[in-house]
């Protein structure tokens, strides 16, 4: 059972000025990702995001510069898809508009603008406010598959607010479809194959069962979605992992399954807001055809730039590709469960 949760417990020793220069031991863990085998480090440090993050200034500054997604600019300033892919040029669903991404992230790359609202606070990202943009993303993927059946890999992604890497405050998703998976997507697929070869059955149901049995990181199930804190967090503060246990492709999903996901996502974001986290990255990974894979999403909190101007990513993640987190994911589980059960 616990083969999923492999970890090495270690410690570092120092003479600590914060403890009157006495000998001190600081414990930490090196954990192995249950699916990919990649390592990450888990610390338990007294870190808390600052109470009064200065996001008002960022929002104000963003209103003073040109925003291509605001209603007066969108039609005039954003590109259209070629007619053979999207005859109407842009996909409109309710409040949302999906346009081509000028950044060529993949063979088919779209940007799904949530609505006319330039800024939506993290706590206000309700399923209703996000639903149209996700519906437009699903419609785009379906249109791409109809046009080009060779496409195999899809992802729906989100950089929310500039500390996450977004160049714009105006909320928007990025939808990528192509023939070659990204590194993380590929090692997930390889992990699924390896697990099947070694165990004779699929990773996902066994993993979900193990997380539910262990009760340390399991948050909830909503409709067709399973929610857990990642055993090996990918960000400075722990991230949340969502799995669709019964689906491998976003083209299999209807609005009902996406609504279950958005109900969970909005709860995670409410939790982030309560903890003074006002930026995040999110990716939903999906294949077109591979019954051994499962759609899954990671939602990573990102810290606002601190007074000195540093970001929350440094050499360890950039060059060693080794994530670390300053709080054990298990320490957040109860709070998230409360928000999910409300």
What is the greatest pairwise CA distance in the chain?
71
**Least distance in angstroms from the C-beta of 70 to Zn ion:** 4
**Least distance in angstroms from the C-beta of 81 to Zn ion:** 21
Q: Which one of the spans 43-51, 64-72, 187-195, 333-341 is the region binding Zn ion (CB under 5 A)?
A: 64-72
Total residues in contact with Zn ion, by rule CB under 5 A: 5
Q: Which one of the spans 8-16, 59-67, 213-221, 299-307 is the region binding Zn ion (CB under 5 A)?
A: 59-67
d(CA 37, CA 7): 11
Residues 261-320 that bind Zn ion (CB under 5 A): none
**Least distance in angstroms from the C-beta of 244 to Zn ion:** 31
- Which is closer to Zn ion, CB of 67 or CB of 237? 67
- Which is closer to Zn ion, CB of 170 or CB of 270? 170
Among 67, 96, 125, 237, which residue interacts with Zn ion (rule: CB under 5 A)?
Answer: 67
> Binding of Zn ion at residue 120 (CB under 5 A)?
no
- Which is closer to Zn ion, CB of 72 or CB of 84? 72
- Which is closer to Zn ion, CB of 118 or CB of 205? 118
Which residue of this chain has its Cβ atom nearest to Zn ion in the complex?
67
> Binding of Zn ion at residue 172 (CB under 5 A)?
no
Would you state the structure tokens that stand for residue 22, as one six-digit string?
A: 């006495």
Contacts of 86 by beta carbon, 8 Å cutoff, 6+ apart: 80, 140, 143
Among 41, 92, 118, 184, which residue interacts with Zn ion (rule: CB under 5 A)?
Answer: 118
- The answer to whether 15 and 24 have CB atoms below 8 angstroms apart is yes
**Least distance in angstroms from the C-beta of 65 to Zn ion:** 10
**Least distance in angstroms from the C-beta of 111 to Zn ion:** 12
Residues 152-171 that bind Zn ion (CB under 5 A): 170
Q: Which one of the spans 6-14, 37-45, 111-119, 128-136 is the region binding Zn ion (CB under 5 A)?
A: 111-119
> Binding of Zn ion at residue 70 (CB under 5 A)?
yes
- Which is closer to Zn ion, CB of 63 or CB of 215? 63
Residue labelled with tokens 């990671």: 298
- Which is closer to Zn ion, CB of 166 or CB of 249? 166
Would you state the structure tokens that stand for residue 221, as one six-digit string?
A: 């199930």
Among 32, 69, 204, 324, which residue interacts with Zn ion (rule: CB under 5 A)?
Answer: 69
Which residues of the shown chain bind Zn ion in the complex (CB under 5 A)?
Answer: 67, 69-70, 118, 170
């Amino acid at each position: 059972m616990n083969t999923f949760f492999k970890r090495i417990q270690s410690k570092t020793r120092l003479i600590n000025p914060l403890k009157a220069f006495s000998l001190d031991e600081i414990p930490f863990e090196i954990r192995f990702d249950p699916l990919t085998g990649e390592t990450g480090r888990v610390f338990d440090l007294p870190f808390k995001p600052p109470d009064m993050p200065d996001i008002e200034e960022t929002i104000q500054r963003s209103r003073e510069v040109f925003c291509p997604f605001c209603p007066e600019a969108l039609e005039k300033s954003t590109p259209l898809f070629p007619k053979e892919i999207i005859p109407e040029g842009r996909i409109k669903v309710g409040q949302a508009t999906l346009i081509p991404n000028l950044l060529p992230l993949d063979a088919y790359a779209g940007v799904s603008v949530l609505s006319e609202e330039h800024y939506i606070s993290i706590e206000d990202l309700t399923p209703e406010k996000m639903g149209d943009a996700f519906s437009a993303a699903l419609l785009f993927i379906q249109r791409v598959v109809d046009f080009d059946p060779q496409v195999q890999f899809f992802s729906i992604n989100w950089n929310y607010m500039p500390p996450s890497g977004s160049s714009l405050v105006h909320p928007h998703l990025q939808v990528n479809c192509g023939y070659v998976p990204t590194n993380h997507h590929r090692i997930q697929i390889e992990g699924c194959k390896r697990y099947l070869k070694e165990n004779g059955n699929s990773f996902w149901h066994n993993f979900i069962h193990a997380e539910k049995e262990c009760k340390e990181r399991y948050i909830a199930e909503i409709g067709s979605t399973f929610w857990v804190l990642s055993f090996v967090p990918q960000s400075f503060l722990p991230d949340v992992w969502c799995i669709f246990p019964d689906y491998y492709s976003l083209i299999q999903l209807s609005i009902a399954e996406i609504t279950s996901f958005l109900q969970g996502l909005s709860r995670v974001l409410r939790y982030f807001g309560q903890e003074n986290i006002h930026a995040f990255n999110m990716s939903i990974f999906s294949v077109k055809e591979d019954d051994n894979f499962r759609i899954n999403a990671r939602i990573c909190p990102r810290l606002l730039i601190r007074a000195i101007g540093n970001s929350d990513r440094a050499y360890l993640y950039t060059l060693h590709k080794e994530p670390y987190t300053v709080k054990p994911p298990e320490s957040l589980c109860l709070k998230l469960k409360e928000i999910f059960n409300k």
